[in-house]
Amino acid sequence: MQLFGKIFPKALLFGFLLSIASCSPNYLKNFKLLNNSDLKIPTIFNQDYQKSLYKANLNIIGKELSGVLLFKRTNKSGFRIVFMSEIGLKYFDFGIEYGGEEFLARTYYIMPALNSGEVRNILINDFSILLSDFKANRNPIVYRSAESKRIAVEYKDNGQAYICFRQNGGNRIGEVKWKSKAGGRSVITIDAFSDGIPSGIEITNKKYSLLLKLHLIEQ
C-alpha cells in the first residue's frame, strides 16, 4: 500500500490548482458578484451518501480501460474508490480521508501501466474534489452570469481557487473547473442526478489526455 505523500494539509487537497488570478478571467467571464447571504451551497455527493456503482470508461495518456467503478463511504469522512474490469481485473484502488485541515489519500493498488506519479496524482486529486463536502468550505464567493443567470461558487485555499457551477434550478453542482501549472486544466461535469446521486459524470484533463466517463448502474 502506498501513501499519497503521508498526510497533506487541506491546501494540498487541491494542490494542483492555480491562484485566482489565473483562473477567474476564463471561467468567470461575464459573471458578476452576487449577494451570498441566502444561497444554499450546492453539492455533488451529500452527507447521507453511502455507495454507488458506475459503468466506467477511462482514457489516459494513450491507454484505454473499461469496467466498473465503485465509490463507497467507509466512515463519516472517508471513501474507497475501486476501478476494475468486468471480469475482476483491478486497475486501481484508492482510499480518501477528509478531516479538519488535513487530507490523506492511500493507494492500496494501482496497475503498473498507471503507476506514474503524475497519472496517479491527477486521478487522486480529481476524485478528491469530486467527493469533497463543498459545504465544509468557508467563505465561498458567489457569482451570477448576467446573460444565462447561471450561478458559480468560487472556493479558495491559501490562494488556490476552483469554480463550481450550479445546475439551473437546483442546489446541485453541475460542473467544477480548475487550472494548475502542474496538472493543466481539469473539468468535472455532472449531467444529471438520480435520487440525489450523480447518474452521469465526466472528468477531463487535456494535458494528460484524460477522459473518464461514468454511468450509474446501481446505488
Closest CA to 44 of 185, 187, 174, 180: 174
Sequential DSSP letters for 83-102: EE-TTS-EEEEEEEEEETTE
Closest CA to 192 of 176, 179, 174, 177: 174
Instruction: Say which residue, 190 or 143, is predicted with more confidence.
Output: 190
**What's the CA gap between 77 and 101, in Å, rounded?**
13
- Residue 20 sits at the vertex; the CA angle it makes with 18 and 24, to the nearest 5 degrees, is 110
**What's the CA gap between 28 and 18, in Å, rounded?**
15
pLDDT of residue 172: 83
Closest CA to 133 of 84, 85, 100: 100
What's the pLDDT tens digit per position in 101-117? 556 889 999 999 898 76
**What's the CA gap between 10 and 67, in Å, rounded?**
32
In the chain, the domains with their CATH numbers are 2-218 (2.50.20)
Least confident of 14-23, 80-89, 164-173: 14-23
Instruction: Say which residue, 25 or 28, is predicted with more confidence.
Output: 28
* Mean pLDDT, residues 208-214: 93
Q: How far is CA 209 from CA 34, 59, 122, 184, in A?
A: 35, 7, 11, 11
**What's the CA gap between 39 and 133, in Å, rounded?**
16
- Residue 19 sits at the vertex; the CA angle it makes with 18 and 21, to the nearest 5 degrees, is 120
**What's the CA gap between 183 and 172, in Å, rounded?**
26
Within 10 A of 8 (CB to CB), how many other CB atoms are there? 17
What's the pLDDT tens digit per position in 30-49? 888 876 655 666 778 887 88
**What's the CA gap between 206 and 219, in Å, rounded?**
30
Q: What's the grid cell of residue 27?
A: 471561467
**What's the CA gap between 167 and 173, in Å, rounded?**
6
* Enclosing H/E stretch for 26: helix 20-27
Q: What's the grid cell of residue 37?
A: 447571504
- Report the percentage of the chain scoring pLDDT > 90: 30
Instruction: Say which residue, 159 or 31, is predicted with more confidence.
Output: 31
Name the DSSP class of 159. Answer: T
